[in-house]
Amino acid sequence: MNNSKPDIKHLFEPRSVAVVGASSNPDKIGFKILDNIISSGFTEHVYPINPKGGEILGCKVYPSMEDLPEAVDIATIVVPAKYTFDAIRDCAKNKTQFLSIITSGFSEIGNLKEERDMVRFSHENGMRILGPNIFGVYSCKHPINATFGPKEVERGHVALLTQSGALGIAMMGKTKAENIGLSAVVSIGNKADIDEADLLEYLIKDEDTKVILMYIEGIKHGQRLIRILKEATKLKPVVVIKSGRSKRGALAAASHTGSLAGADEIFSDVMKQCGVLRAESIDEGLNWCKFLSETSSPSGKNCVIVTNGGGIGVLAADACEKHNVNLMDDLQTMKEVFSPVVPDFGSVKNPIDITGQGTLEDYEKSLFEALKHKEIDSVICLGCQTAVLNAKGLKESVLKISEEYKGSKPIVYSYVGGEEIEDSIRYLRSKGISVFSDVYDAVGCLGALYFHYQNMITPREEIKELPMDRQTILGIVDRVKQDGRTFLLANEAQELMNAAGITIPQSKIATNLDDAVRFSEEIGYPVVMKIVSKDIIHKSDAGGVALDLENKDEVVDAYQAIMINARRYKADAKIQGVEISEMVKKGIETIIGARQDEAFGPIVMFGLGGIYVEVMKDVSFRASPIGKTQALSMVKNTKAYPLLLGVRGDEQKDIEGTLDVILRIGLILDICPSISDIEINPLVVYDEGQGVKAVDVRILLSK
């Protein structure tokens, strides 16, 4: 038994490597991987394993791992599934550190037990598993290409982690075509053992890796991933492409990898919370990676657009709004900088318009001024093909600017025109310059850079403890469990809200008519009456709710009607009584929820509440615990925010009180993990300083 874990460094920087199932047949994967390893320059300490022995590609073949002269860092296993466990046992005898299991036929087709057994055995023997169901690992250290992907890999600064094998191999090919250099490629497949978080631990410290790109289908250990992503994005950009956005896509992804994809909205919001950039497509992801790996950080937020066309300039300004790129609006400075170089008939307001008559010299002069000026932090250069602006000259001009200023200040280009312009774009891209035919693509790159930059400079938020009566919360939940229920009754939920410091409307449970009347008078009319019975969950459906009761007579009538309705709805229902509560004043109705998410653990949710929830689906999520700044960003991400600020001369609402409830509701789940769902709908928010009220609260326990 050897339970120590090998250092992940040796997966990226192996000193020796074996290929179990190496074959002399060039059509087999066992040949291709060996060929790639040797072709990448890793020629010593390479051990093909095959019972037939002999020699493959000039390397001595060993009959088994036991025969090797040294313990290896990586054994790539490429034998059929039914022989894989035997091969793993063999590797244990060799004291191998990492097993890169190419073989398919495990959890992805329902063969979970064998996969789990392989992991258990490997851990007991000090080994870790990459895969199974993968195409291998490439690292620019040494370098080593232990994949059956493309033989030649461009060395560079983007690390690619991919759950999909075929797409990963295709992306390796595409990065080469797009001239994007790679620092590492790891296929993670079924993630039986090693997952993104393990690999990120190495990559965030790796100096060769400037940007990390992940293709994800499903998350397995979300809370750990969140922790490491938050750390990673403080140091370098992380871009994620996740499939499974649509319901159909999610189904395909789940069956493809055997792992469960979290709800897409939650995934997006949690990634944003971690400072991760989510790309919509492979092209977008690769564009961002290329730009981010080559440009320097901006030193501020002032961006200037230089254009020869008004229309394309306005398009870019729209794109800037979409991608949160801030256009410089200091007119005085822009006039001083650009007046000497922009023709009289042009514009020195942002976008700087050198007009359709603008020559390449005018362009160059404006761009050089922009790139030189200390108040201008980034530049978007746009061009429409005109008779004055020829494609050939354009190519040379961009190269000249790029050579002189490469990387010193972020600059993106977009050119629109015919075949010659398209040729120039292809040529310039092959030189590593971020040029696009679509303005939105160009501005999107800058938006990605600013998102990352903003995340880097934003200090980490301290998460404060809030005073709560933990003992009472745990006690209520214990009682419910002992009662064999997985939901809290209304009075229990209210008691829990009180213990958590969340304001609820005044209410009391009456077990007879006299008490119902007495409590109504104590609380003050108008009041609401609701049935309390663990056998009746949908109270309105059962005719168990009466609103706006204004006097004693109405209370008496409502009490009798509710009792009759309840008996009619479920004759054997055990009725605890009725709940009398204050009729809540009108305010802004919001919804605040928290749930144990399968992928990410405790998640909090905020949105417009009441009847709008279903229609608008205007909610935002964060992984708990969060601080006040994150809670505010959640609120700002919804349409509830302008309402809370006060529309049409309305008073500003109690935003502070709302944030407090968001934080508390997340903490309840941290205190008591057996609560699976809490939903306050509505949480009515009153004018600033007047507080909030949790009107309806539902709490469920995990089954």
Q: Any alpha helices (H) in 526-573, and if so which ranges?
A: 552-569
Among 103, 122, 139, 163, binds ligand ACO (CB under 6 A): 103
Neighbours of 7 (CB within 10 A): 13
Minimum CB separation from ligand ACO for residue 113, in Å? 18
Rounded Cα distance between 331 and 309, Å, is: 20
Taking phi over 0 as left and psi of -120 to 50 as alpha, with beta for the rest, 566 belongs to alpha
Rounded Cα distance between 328 and 378, Å, is: 10
Task: State residue 424 phi and psi, 5-degree precision.
Answer: -65, -40
Is the CB of 139 or the CB of 378 nearer to ligand ACO? 139
Minimum CB separation from ligand ACO for residue 627, in Å? 41
Stretch that binds ligand ACO, among 97-105, 152-160, 336-344, 488-496 (CB under 6 A): 97-105
Tell me if 309 sits within 8 A of 382, measured CB to CB: yes
Is the CB of 23 or the CB of 402 nearer to ligand ACO? 23
Q: Applying CB under 6 A, does 517 fall inside the site for ligand ACO?
A: no
Site string for ligand ACO, 26-65 (x = CB under 6 A): --xxx------------------xxxx-------------
Q: Any alpha helices (H) in 95-164, and if so which ranges?
A: 112-124
Q: What are the strands of the beta sheet with 17-20, ordered from one edge? A: 46-49, 17-20, 74-77, 98-101, 128-130
Minimum CB separation from ligand ACO for residue 165, in Å? 2
Is the CB of 252 or the CB of 643 nearer to ligand ACO? 252
Stretch that binds ligand ACO, among 99-107, 254-262, 311-319, 467-475 (CB under 6 A): 99-107
Cis peptide before 682 (omega within 30 of 0): yes
Minimum CB separation from ligand ACO for residue 94, in Å? 12
Is the CB of 82 or the CB of 372 nearer to ligand ACO? 82
| Residues with Cβ within 8 Å of residue 31, at least 6 apart in sequence | 22, 23, 24, 25, 56, 57
Q: Applying CB under 6 A, does 417 fall inside the site for ligand ACO?
A: no
Name the E strands within 386-544: 411-416, 435-436, 507-510, 527-532
Q: Applying CB under 6 A, does 23 fall inside the site for ligand ACO?
A: yes
Count of chain residues binding ligand ACO (CB under 6 A): 28
Stretch that binds ligand ACO, among 131-139, 226-234, 517-525, 560-568 (CB under 6 A): 131-139
Minimum CB separation from ligand ACO for residue 162, in Å? 9
Minimum CB separation from ligand ACO for residue 79, in Å? 4
Taking phi over 0 as left and psi of -120 to 50 as alpha, with beta for the rest, 410 belongs to beta
Place of tokens 């939903």: 679
Q: What are the strands of the beta sheet with 507-510, ordered from one edge? A: 507-510, 577-582, 527-532, 545-549
Q: Rule CB under 6 A: which of 135-194 touch ligand ACO?
A: 135, 165-166, 169
Site string for ligand ACO, 63-92 (x = CB under 6 A): ---------------xxx--x--xx-----
Neighbours of 597 (CB within 10 A): 21
Rounded Cα distance between 46 and 60, Å, is: 9
Is the CB of 172 or the CB of 480 nearer to ligand ACO? 172
Place of tokens 């539902």: 698
Minimum CB separation from ligand ACO for residue 26, in Å? 10
Is the CB of 16 or the CB of 103 nearer to ligand ACO? 103
Task: State residue 510 phi and psi, 5-degree precision.
Answer: -105, 135
Place of tokens 């600033």: 688
Q: Applying CB under 6 A, does 251 fall inside the site for ligand ACO?
A: no
Q: Rule CB under 6 A: which of 386-415 touch ligand ACO?
A: none
Q: Applying CB under 6 A, does 669 fall inside the site for ligand ACO?
A: no
- Cα(first)–Cα(last) distance of the chain, in Å? 36
Cis peptide before 602 (omega within 30 of 0): no
Q: Applying CB under 6 A, does 659 fall inside the site for ligand ACO?
A: no
Is the CB of 87 or the CB of 303 nearer to ligand ACO? 87
Is the CB of 109 or the CB of 547 nearer to ligand ACO? 109
Is the CB of 52 or the CB of 585 nearer to ligand ACO? 52
Minimum CB separation from ligand ACO for residue 70, in Å? 18
Task: State residue 416 phi and psi, 5-degree precision.
Answer: -120, 130
Q: Applying CB under 6 A, does 106 fall inside the site for ligand ACO?
A: no
Among 9, 57, 104, 221, binds ligand ACO (CB under 6 A): 104
Minimum CB separation from ligand ACO for residue 89, in Å? 10
Residues that bind ligand ACO (CB under 6 A): 20-21, 23-25, 28-30, 49-52, 78-80, 83, 86-87, 102-105, 133-135, 165-166, 169
